[in-house]
Amino acid sequence: MVEDCHSEVTLDSDAPGNTDFTGVDSFVTSTAMTAERAYYHCGDFFIKRGLRPSEYKTTHRGTKHIPRLGKQRLQNEAATLRFIRRVSNIPVPTLYGAFEVDESFILIMEHIDGVAMSDLTEDQKCVVRTEVEQYLATLRGIKSNTIGGPSGIVLPPYRVMRPSDKNEWPRKVSKDGGYVFCHNDLAQHNIIVDPKTLKIRAIIDWE
């Protein structure tokens, strides 16, 4: 159970033993904060949350940076983690909880030990690349006749959203089921590898 700002949230039943926390910001030091997210590590847990309005950053032009579809992207990641675990053998962190507190949407998931593929030698990367290609083939085999993620929301990559003011995108339909599932940020830093066996421990960041 997570307790934050007097709100109680029950985690999924497969969460590890000690799940009693008092406030996401009080039980652990933030490992990182970007213009859109705060990240925490606490034992078996990794926590990712959207910034509260009071935490929004000021740009060099003196304007507030307001994350585009920040809550929706985290909701989509939660739905995607559950979906990928259900329909494929692609390793992803176990999601233990997804909820909103104090205008901040929070994901609590399994902490994955390992190193990023980007930190490996070129020879090691060649070994890992074979497994990556297998998972890419698996993703291409997951097809749909409508665009959008498992959350039901259409969330284009930032390079598509940036030129537009739109925050809602239509769910286009393909008659031949021609849409395939994509990660959209399958960079080496999002592939966590066991440094000894060079097996992929998890693919992360499914926003």
Instruction: Please state, as a whole number, how many other Cβ atoms lie within 10 Å of the Cβ of residue 87.
Output: 13
The first and second tokens of residue 23, run together, are 């406030």
In this structure, whether the domain defined by 2-110 belongs to CATH 3.30.200.20 is answered with yes
* Amino acid 68: pLDDT: 87
* Backbone angles phi and psi of 12, in degrees to 5: -60, 155
Mean pLDDT throughout 133-141? 97
Three-state SS for the chain is: CEEECCEEECCCCCCCCCCCEECCCCCCCEEEECCCEEEEEECCEEEEEECCHHHCCECCCCCECCCCCHHHHHHHHHHHHHHHHHHCCCCCCCEEEEEEECCEEEEEEECCCCEEHHHCCHHHHHHHHHHHHHHHHHHHCCEECECCCCCCCCCCCHHHHCCCCCCCCCCCECCCCCEECCCCCCCHHHEEECCCCCCEEEECCCC
Cα separation of 40 and 47, whole Å?
Answer: 5
pTM comes to: 0.83
User: Does position 85 have pLDDT exceeding 90, yes or no?
Assistant: yes
Q: Are 93 and 81 in contact (CB under 8 A)?
A: yes
User: Does position 12 have pLDDT exceeding 90, yes or no?
Assistant: no
Cα separation of 207 and 193, whole Å?
Answer: 20
Delimiting residues of CATH 3.30.200.20 domain(s) in the chain: 2-110
Q: How far is CA 51 from the centre of its chain?
A: 15
* Amino acid 4: pLDDT: 36
User: Does position 206 have pLDDT exceeding 70, yes or no?
Assistant: yes
> For residues 199 and 15, which has the higher predicted lDDT (pLDDT)?
199
User: Does position 47 have pLDDT exceeding 80, yes or no?
Assistant: yes
Per-position b or e across 46-62, b if 16+ CB within 10 A of its CB: bbbbbbeeeebeeeeee
